[in-house]
A and B are shown apart, each in its own frame.
Chain A
Amino acid sequence: QKEVEQDPGPLSVPEGAIVSLNCTYSNSAFQYFMWYRQYSRKGPELLMYTYSSGNKEDGRFTAQVDKSSKYISLFIRDSQPSDSATYLCAMRGSWKTSYDKVIFGPGTSLSVIP
Protein backbone atom coordinates (compact mmCIF):
# COMPACT_ATOMS: atom_id res chain seq x y z
CA GLN A 1 0.00 0.00 0.00
CA LYS A 2 1.32 3.42 -0.96
CA GLU A 3 1.69 5.95 1.84
CA VAL A 4 -0.53 8.47 0.09
CA GLU A 5 -3.23 7.60 -2.44
CA GLN A 6 -5.17 9.89 -4.70
CA ASP A 7 -7.53 9.31 -7.60
CA PRO A 8 -5.58 10.46 -10.68
CA GLY A 9 -8.71 11.45 -12.60
CA PRO A 10 -8.96 13.14 -14.99
CA LEU A 11 -11.85 15.02 -13.46
CA SER A 12 -13.89 17.25 -15.76
CA VAL A 13 -16.52 19.67 -14.39
CA PRO A 14 -18.53 22.59 -15.78
CA GLU A 15 -17.63 26.12 -14.73
CA GLY A 16 -19.27 27.08 -11.45
CA ALA A 17 -19.40 23.52 -10.08
CA ILE A 18 -18.18 22.50 -6.66
CA VAL A 19 -15.12 20.28 -6.92
CA SER A 20 -14.11 17.73 -4.31
CA LEU A 21 -10.59 16.31 -4.36
CA ASN A 22 -9.50 13.64 -1.90
CA CYS A 23 -6.51 11.75 -0.53
CA THR A 24 -6.11 8.86 1.84
CA TYR A 25 -2.97 8.01 3.72
CA SER A 26 -1.62 5.21 5.87
CA ASN A 27 0.96 6.82 8.18
CA SER A 28 -0.66 8.02 11.40
CA ALA A 29 2.44 10.12 12.14
CA PHE A 30 1.45 12.68 9.51
CA GLN A 31 0.41 15.95 11.13
CA TYR A 32 0.89 18.60 8.46
CA PHE A 33 -1.27 18.46 5.37
CA MET A 34 -0.92 20.48 2.22
CA TRP A 35 -2.45 20.89 -1.20
CA TYR A 36 -0.35 21.91 -4.15
CA ARG A 37 -1.57 23.07 -7.54
CA GLN A 38 0.49 22.35 -10.63
CA TYR A 39 -0.21 23.97 -13.96
CA SER A 40 1.02 22.29 -17.10
CA ARG A 41 4.80 22.59 -17.53
CA LYS A 42 5.19 24.40 -14.21
CA GLY A 43 6.36 23.41 -10.76
CA PRO A 44 3.84 22.69 -8.00
CA GLU A 45 2.80 25.70 -5.91
CA LEU A 46 1.50 25.58 -2.36
CA LEU A 47 -2.23 26.25 -2.26
CA MET A 48 -3.38 25.31 1.23
CA TYR A 49 -1.73 24.21 4.44
CA THR A 50 -3.37 22.76 7.58
CA TYR A 51 -2.12 21.31 10.81
CA SER A 52 -3.80 18.27 12.37
CA SER A 53 -7.55 17.78 12.00
CA GLY A 54 -10.15 20.36 11.09
CA ASN A 55 -11.11 22.75 8.34
CA LYS A 56 -9.37 25.71 6.79
CA GLU A 57 -10.92 28.12 4.33
CA ASP A 58 -9.22 30.49 1.93
CA GLY A 59 -11.48 32.22 -0.55
CA ARG A 60 -13.08 29.60 -2.79
CA PHE A 61 -10.90 26.82 -1.34
CA THR A 62 -11.59 24.72 1.77
CA ALA A 63 -9.24 22.07 3.10
CA GLN A 64 -10.51 19.38 5.46
CA VAL A 65 -8.49 16.89 7.47
CA ASP A 66 -9.95 13.85 9.24
CA LYS A 67 -7.06 12.17 11.00
CA SER A 68 -9.26 9.46 12.51
CA SER A 69 -10.12 8.28 8.99
CA LYS A 70 -6.73 9.23 7.50
CA TYR A 71 -8.58 11.23 4.86
CA ILE A 72 -8.09 14.75 3.56
CA SER A 73 -10.14 16.78 1.11
CA LEU A 74 -9.93 19.96 -0.90
CA PHE A 75 -13.15 21.67 -1.99
CA ILE A 76 -13.24 24.30 -4.70
CA ARG A 77 -16.40 26.41 -4.87
CA ASP A 78 -17.53 28.24 -7.99
CA SER A 79 -14.84 26.53 -10.03
CA GLN A 80 -13.22 28.56 -12.82
CA PRO A 81 -11.40 27.52 -16.00
CA SER A 82 -8.26 28.94 -14.37
CA ASP A 83 -8.56 26.19 -11.73
CA SER A 84 -7.73 23.62 -14.42
CA ALA A 85 -4.54 22.01 -13.16
CA THR A 86 -3.23 18.96 -11.35
CA TYR A 87 -3.80 19.01 -7.60
CA LEU A 88 -1.37 17.13 -5.37
CA CYS A 89 -1.96 16.42 -1.73
CA ALA A 90 1.11 16.32 0.48
CA MET A 91 1.80 15.53 4.12
CA ARG A 92 4.53 15.14 6.71
CA GLY A 93 5.14 14.39 10.34
CA SER A 94 6.22 16.70 13.12
CA TRP A 95 9.10 19.05 12.37
CA LYS A 96 10.50 18.26 15.80
CA THR A 97 11.28 14.71 14.80
CA SER A 98 13.75 13.41 12.29
CA TYR A 99 10.91 12.68 9.90
CA ASP A 100 11.25 15.80 7.78
CA LYS A 101 10.23 14.55 4.37
CA VAL A 102 7.03 15.64 2.69
CA ILE A 103 5.25 12.82 0.91
CA PHE A 104 3.24 13.76 -2.15
CA GLY A 105 0.23 12.04 -3.61
CA PRO A 106 0.25 11.26 -7.35
CA GLY A 107 -2.09 14.15 -8.16
CA THR A 108 -5.58 14.54 -9.62
CA SER A 109 -5.95 16.23 -12.99
CA LEU A 110 -8.85 18.71 -13.04
CA SER A 111 -10.41 20.39 -16.06
CA VAL A 112 -13.04 23.09 -15.60
CA ILE A 113 -15.02 23.50 -18.79
CA PRO A 114 -16.37 27.01 -19.64
Chain B
Amino acid sequence: DAGVIQSPRHEVTEMGQEVTLRCKPISGHDYLFWYRQTMMRGLELLIYFNNNVPIDDSGMPEDRFSAKMPNASFSTLKIQPSEPRDSAVYFCASSHVTGTGNYGYTFGSGTRLTVV
Protein backbone atom coordinates (compact mmCIF):
# COMPACT_ATOMS: atom_id res chain seq x y z
CA ASP B 1 0.00 0.00 0.00
CA ALA B 2 1.47 3.33 -1.09
CA GLY B 3 -0.32 5.25 1.63
CA VAL B 4 -2.00 8.61 1.13
CA ILE B 5 -0.42 10.35 -1.85
CA GLN B 6 -0.35 14.12 -2.11
CA SER B 7 0.88 16.32 -4.90
CA PRO B 8 2.71 18.53 -5.36
CA ARG B 9 5.11 18.27 -2.39
CA HIS B 10 6.02 21.92 -2.69
CA GLU B 11 4.22 24.80 -4.36
CA VAL B 12 5.39 28.38 -4.65
CA THR B 13 2.96 30.76 -6.26
CA GLU B 14 2.30 34.44 -6.56
CA MET B 15 -0.49 36.16 -4.73
CA GLY B 16 -3.71 36.06 -6.73
CA GLN B 17 -2.93 32.85 -8.55
CA GLU B 18 -5.05 29.72 -8.37
CA VAL B 19 -3.57 26.79 -6.48
CA THR B 20 -4.80 23.20 -6.68
CA LEU B 21 -3.66 20.54 -4.23
CA ARG B 22 -4.31 16.89 -4.94
CA CYS B 23 -4.82 13.81 -2.83
CA LYS B 24 -5.21 10.10 -3.45
CA PRO B 25 -6.50 8.33 -0.32
CA ILE B 26 -5.83 4.75 0.68
CA SER B 27 -8.03 2.36 -1.23
CA GLY B 28 -10.99 1.26 0.88
CA HIS B 29 -10.89 4.23 3.23
CA ASP B 30 -14.26 5.95 3.33
CA TYR B 31 -13.26 9.15 5.11
CA LEU B 32 -11.04 11.86 3.67
CA PHE B 33 -9.83 14.93 5.51
CA TRP B 34 -8.03 18.10 4.51
CA TYR B 35 -5.96 19.78 7.22
CA ARG B 36 -3.80 22.87 7.31
CA GLN B 37 -0.83 23.14 9.66
CA THR B 38 0.94 26.31 10.73
CA MET B 39 3.19 27.13 13.65
CA MET B 40 0.68 29.60 15.02
CA ARG B 41 -2.52 27.57 14.71
CA GLY B 42 -1.34 23.97 14.66
CA LEU B 43 -3.33 21.37 12.74
CA GLU B 44 -6.69 22.72 11.60
CA LEU B 45 -9.41 20.65 9.96
CA LEU B 46 -10.65 22.37 6.83
CA ILE B 47 -13.18 19.89 5.45
CA TYR B 48 -13.93 16.20 5.50
CA PHE B 49 -15.74 13.78 3.23
CA ASN B 50 -17.51 10.51 3.93
CA ASN B 51 -18.07 8.26 0.93
CA ASN B 52 -17.15 11.18 -1.37
CA VAL B 53 -19.79 13.48 0.17
CA PRO B 54 -18.65 16.65 2.00
CA ILE B 55 -19.85 16.34 5.60
CA ASP B 56 -18.40 19.35 7.36
CA ASP B 57 -16.72 22.31 5.68
CA SER B 58 -16.99 24.67 8.62
CA GLY B 59 -13.21 24.87 8.82
CA MET B 60 -12.80 26.26 5.33
CA PRO B 61 -11.55 29.77 6.05
CA GLU B 62 -13.17 31.65 3.19
CA ASP B 63 -14.98 31.31 -0.09
CA ARG B 64 -11.58 31.35 -1.73
CA PHE B 65 -11.19 27.75 -0.60
CA SER B 66 -13.08 24.89 -2.21
CA ALA B 67 -12.71 21.12 -2.12
CA LYS B 68 -14.06 18.32 -4.24
CA MET B 69 -14.03 14.55 -4.19
CA PRO B 70 -15.32 13.34 -7.56
CA ASN B 71 -14.62 9.69 -6.75
CA ALA B 72 -13.30 7.46 -3.99
CA SER B 73 -9.71 7.72 -5.17
CA PHE B 74 -9.20 11.44 -5.71
CA SER B 75 -9.76 14.77 -4.00
CA THR B 76 -8.68 18.33 -4.67
CA LEU B 77 -8.36 21.44 -2.53
CA LYS B 78 -8.38 24.66 -4.51
CA ILE B 79 -7.49 28.17 -3.41
CA GLN B 80 -8.52 30.98 -5.73
CA PRO B 81 -7.20 33.62 -5.45
CA SER B 82 -4.31 32.71 -3.18
CA GLU B 83 -2.97 35.10 -0.53
CA PRO B 84 0.29 35.15 1.46
CA ARG B 85 -1.60 34.17 4.65
CA ASP B 86 -2.54 30.89 2.97
CA SER B 87 1.10 29.80 3.24
CA ALA B 88 1.10 26.60 5.28
CA VAL B 89 1.51 22.85 5.01
CA TYR B 90 -1.67 21.22 3.75
CA PHE B 91 -2.25 17.60 4.72
CA CYS B 92 -4.69 15.11 3.35
CA ALA B 93 -5.63 12.14 5.54
CA SER B 94 -7.88 9.16 5.07
CA SER B 95 -9.40 6.63 7.45
CA HIS B 96 -11.78 3.73 7.75
CA VAL B 97 -14.02 2.94 10.67
CA THR B 98 -13.27 -0.55 11.96
CA GLY B 99 -15.68 -2.67 13.93
CA THR B 100 -14.11 -1.48 17.17
CA GLY B 101 -14.59 2.14 16.24
CA ASN B 102 -10.87 2.58 15.84
CA TYR B 103 -10.13 4.96 13.09
CA GLY B 104 -6.77 6.47 13.30
CA TYR B 105 -5.97 8.64 10.34
CA THR B 106 -3.27 7.97 7.79
CA PHE B 107 -1.74 11.23 6.69
CA GLY B 108 0.00 12.05 3.46
CA SER B 109 3.36 13.78 3.43
CA GLY B 110 1.75 17.16 2.87
CA THR B 111 2.02 20.00 0.38
CA ARG B 112 4.11 22.92 1.53
CA LEU B 113 2.48 26.00 0.02
CA THR B 114 4.23 29.34 -0.15
CA VAL B 115 2.35 32.32 -1.54
CA VAL B 116 4.58 35.30 -2.30
In the complex the two chains form, is B93's CB within 8 Å of A43's CB? yes
CA distance A32 to B107 in the complex (A): 18
Q: Nearest CB to that of A31 among chain B residues? A: B101
1/0 per residue, CB under 8 A from B, across A92-114: the answer is 00111000111011110000000
| B109 at interface, CB cutoff 8 A | yes
CA distance A106 to B55 in the complex (A): 24
In the complex the two chains form, is A43's CB within 8 Å of B56's CB? no
Majority-rule SS of B interface residues: strand
| A71 at interface, CB cutoff 8 A | no
Cross-chain contact of B101 among A43, A44, A51, A106 (Cβ < 8 A): A51
| B50 at interface, CB cutoff 8 A | yes
1/0 per residue, CB under 8 A from A, across B44-85: the answer is 010010100001100000000000000000000000000000
1/0 per residue, CB under 8 A from B, across A75-106: the answer is 00000000000001000001110001110111
In the complex the two chains form, is A44's CB within 8 Å of B97's CB? no
| A42 at interface, CB cutoff 8 A | yes
Cross-chain contact of A46 among B31, B97, B106, B108 (Cβ < 8 A): B106
Majority-rule SS of A interface residues: loop
Q: Which 3 pairs across A and B sit closest by C-beta, in order of nearness?
A: A43-B107, A46-B104, A106-B42
CA distance A21 to B10 in the complex (A): 31
| A61 at interface, CB cutoff 8 A | no
| A34 at interface, CB cutoff 8 A | yes
In the complex the two chains form, is A107's CB within 8 Å of B42's CB? yes
Cross-chain contact of B103 among A41, A95, A106 (Cβ < 8 A): A95
CA distance A105 to B103 in the complex (A): 17
Given A44-B43, A106-B42; A100-B50 close (CB under 8 Å): yes
- Can you list 15 residue pairs at the A/B interface with Cβ under 8 Å? A41-B112, A42-B109, A43-B91, A43-B93, A43-B108, A43-B109, A44-B107, A45-B107, A51-B101, A51-B102, A94-B101, A95-B101, A101-B48, A104-B42, A107-B42
CA distance A102 to B35 in the complex (A): 11
Query: For B42, what are the chain A residues with a Cβ–Cβ distance below 8 Å?
Result: 88, 104-107
Query: How close is A103's CB to chain B, nearest CB, in angstroms?
Result: 8
Query: For A94, what are the chain B residues with a Cβ–Cβ distance below 8 Å?
Result: 101
